[in-house]
Amino acid sequence: MIAGRRALIAAVLLLAAAAAEAGPRALNPTEGRPDAVVDLATAEGAALVHGQWRYRDARLVEVDFRGPGPDLRASGQPGQTLDVTPHAGAGDLDDRDWIVVDAPGIRERRGNGRLALGWYRITVTVPDRIGAFDPRGATLVLEVVVDDYAEVWVDGRLPRRLGQVGGSLIGGFNAPNRVIIGRDVRPGQTIQLAVFGINGPLSDPPANFLWIRSATLDFYKAPRFPEVPARVLRRDPGLDGIVPAELRVEKVAEGFEFIEGPVWVRDGSALLFSDPNANTIYSWSEDAGLAVYRAKSGYTGPDIGEYGQPGSNGLTLDRDGRLLINEHGNRRVTRLERTGALTVLADRFEGRRLNSPNDLVLKSDGALYFTDPPFGLPRSHADPRRELPYSGVFRYAEGTLRLVSTDLTGPNGLAFSPDERFLYVTNWDENNKVVMRYAVTSDGGLADGHVFFDMTGAPGEEALDGMKVDARGNLYVSGPGGVWVISAEGRHLGTIQLPELPANFAWGGPDGATLYMTARHGLYRMRLAVPGAGR
């Protein structure tokens, strides 16, 4: 059994290495062959879902608007710009006076040619049966190909996020738009669809017209991401109420160089995470897949080739939902404003440049704590560019940067206890693999620092990396051999071993009980019985 397990893990690692060479990709269980298809370009298919296509031309119109102001928003000088009319994505739009189109007629040419714009609308109802297939509980995907570009509204919404390619937005020239329009669907459920068609290329409008090449509803029976082998070493009965007996670990994306610093964004149900080696921040969601959220995320210097990890590392959100970024190569902490501007929060302490901010955590009062080891510098501790003689833990609040600890050679992961009375800090040091615990003082400082848990004697070359805490105060630590689960009292409850060692974690999902893991080349997740703290 042991030999077989080792062979299986070796095979998974080889696949991960091959995926890394191929480049990042999301593992999408709603691609490939569906379990049932309804063709909305046929009379039979449209009738099965009680759908009626309607069409209306759209056009560009001049409207009053303001130019960019000092806040980079439309608060400047009055002027004019272009808009589209009608805005027909709303789910409750009255389209009864639109052109009625029979299903095969969606392939007829429409619009006035050249830079033509137009709306197609249809409301579909999930049927009781599709042949022998029972759609109850399935995931439903709309696949539509518009000549030449399309945007897809679902029940009055046009979901989009930075870096998104395809899905509800333009997928490419005559490319399919694949949009998940329903999960766990039920017979009788109605979904309103609005497809905005655009003739293109926009900068060189063609001598043709709008039409829909194909439109189908693809049903997938309870789609699941691929599971990977996981071994749970149970050391204490307390683990039984946290980790299910039949733990499922799913891989949702792969092919990265080294991923870190994940944070869950509730607005949009998406995960953001860094690849410091690739100098990139990615976003991932079940509906929209994988996209580059921010390129050149941590460094653009001419000597970037010297750096192993020039990009961003730790990410979190402030109380206003703005992204806070630890930039390794630029050696600073920044805030990404909603306008797209970047604000530098901290890059120097007492006149000297920071090392390479690593992980960060936000306290409920808005104070930001971050670790600053030199791991992002090309030669780490021995790098001649290093200006601070220590690896610190810092606190940033209201424009003031404060050094709160210099106890560790490699301070790395950070997490607060659920009541925020304590701050935990992991140490990346192969000779001192410890989790420190500090009392948080009334002024935000740290006191009574002591070793909370020591893994120095554990086999393996790995030191301690990222960490998260759940609502009961249990710690999840990236340590030698896997994810160490440690109780709030300091008991080792157990270790979860995966094909790859996770670097860091984020709580996500609707109830915050799914632990996402950035693990070298792959992005994984597992559902636990306890939700996260401070999410």
Average pLDDT over residues 149-169: 90
If pLDDT is split at 50, 70 and 90, which confidence band does 11 have? very low
Task: Report whether pLDDT(8) > 50.
Answer: no
Q: Are 493 and 242 in contact (CB under 8 A)?
A: yes
Per-residue confidence (pLDDT) for residue 21, from 0 to 100? 53
In tens, the pLDDT along 32-68 reads: 899 999 999 999 999 999 999 999 999 999 999 999 9
In this structure, of 8-22, 44-58, 223-237, 251-265, the range with the lowest mean pLDDT score is: 8-22
Per-residue confidence (pLDDT) for residue 442, from 0 to 100? 97
CA distance readout (Å), 521 to 19, 23, 74, 299, 526:
8, 10, 41, 21, 17
Identify the three-state secondary structure at position 7. helix
Quickly tell me which residue has 């509980």 as its tokens: 137
The DSSP output letter for 106 is: G
In tens, the pLDDT along 318-338 reads: 999 999 999 999 999 999 999
Quote the distance between the C-alpha of residue 41 and its chain's center: 34
In tens, the pLDDT along 69-116 reads: 999 899 999 999 999 999 999 999 999 999 999 999 999 999 999 999
Per-residue confidence (pLDDT) for residue 19, from 0 to 100? 45
Q: Are 469 and 477 in contact (CB under 8 A)?
A: no
Domains of the chain: 2-28+225-527 (2.120.10.30), 36-220 (2.60.120.260)
Residue 332 CB coordination number (10 Å): 20
Per-residue confidence (pLDDT) for residue 22, from 0 to 100? 65
Choose among 313, 315, 225, 314: nearest CA to 265: 315
Per-residue confidence (pLDDT) for residue 174, from 0 to 100? 95
Tokens of 29: 């269980």
**Of 267 and 371, the one with more pLDDT:** 371
Residue 405 CB coordination number (10 Å): 22
Question: To which H or E segment does residue 82 belong?
Answer: strand 78-85
Helix/strand/coil percentages in the chain, nearest 5: 10, 45, 45
Report the alpha-carbon distance of residue 494 to residue 511 in Å, rounded: 24
Sign of CA dihedral 44, 45, 46, 50: positive
Tokens of 406: 């210099």
> Exposed, middle or buried: residue 469 (CB in 10 Å: 0-12, 13-18, 19+)?
buried
Task: Report whether pLDDT(178) > 90.
Answer: yes
Report the alpha-carbon distance of residue 485 to residue 495 in Å, rounded: 6
Q: Are 48 and 36 in contact (CB under 8 A)?
A: no
If pLDDT is split at 50, 70 and 90, which confidence band does 535 have? low
Report the alpha-carbon distance of residue 239 to residue 528 in Å, rounded: 11
Report the alpha-carbon distance of residue 406 to residue 391 in Å, rounded: 6
Average pLDDT over residues 258-280: 94
Per-residue confidence (pLDDT) for residue 15, from 0 to 100? 42
Tokens of 348: 């120097």
- Kindly write down the DSSP assignment for every residue of 245-297, as one continuous string: TT--EEEEEEEEEEEEEEEEETTTTEEEEEETTTTEEEEEETTTEEEEEEES-
Question: To which H or E segment does residue 497 belong?
Answer: strand 492-497
Task: Report whether pLDDT(526) > 80.
Answer: yes
Tokens of 196: 């905005």
Quickly tell me which residue has 């970037």 as its tokens: 304
Task: Report whether pLDDT(520) > 50.
Answer: yes
Long-range contacts of 446-455 (CB under 8 A, 24+ apart): 446/393, 446/404, 446/405, 449/405, 449/407, 452/424, 452/486, 452/490, 453/477, 453/484, 453/486, 453/490, 453/492, 455/479, 455/480, 455/484
Report the alpha-carbon distance of residue 490 to residue 501 in Å, rounded: 22
Choose among 352, 317, 354: nearest CA to 337: 317
In tens, the pLDDT along 458-474 reads: 988 889 999 999 999 99
In the chain the first and final C-alpha atoms are separated, in Å, by 39
Average pLDDT over residues 345-351: 98
Per-residue confidence (pLDDT) for residue 461, from 0 to 100? 80
Report the alpha-carbon distance of residue 475 to residue 467 in Å, rounded: 7
446 forms bridges with which residues in the sheet? 440
In this structure, of 7-16, 59-68, 137-146, 457-466, the range with the lowest mean pLDDT score is: 7-16
64 forms bridges with which residues in the sheet? 80
Mean pLDDT rounded to a whole number for the chain: 93
Task: Report whether pLDDT(510) > 50.
Answer: yes
In tens, the pLDDT along 372-410 reads: 999 999 999 999 999 999 999 999 999 999 999 999 999
281 forms bridges with which residues in the sheet? 274, 294
Residues 6+ apart with CB under 8 A from 470: 242, 418, 476, 507, 528, 530, 531, 532, 533
Q: Are 137 and 185 in contact (CB under 8 A)?
A: yes
Residues 6+ apart with CB under 8 A from 302: none
Q: Are 475 and 486 in contact (CB under 8 A)?
A: yes
Total residues belonging to the chain:
535
In tens, the pLDDT along 282-311 reads: 999 988 889 999 999 999 999 999 999 999
Sheet holding 400-405, edge to edge: 360-362, 368-372, 392-397, 400-405
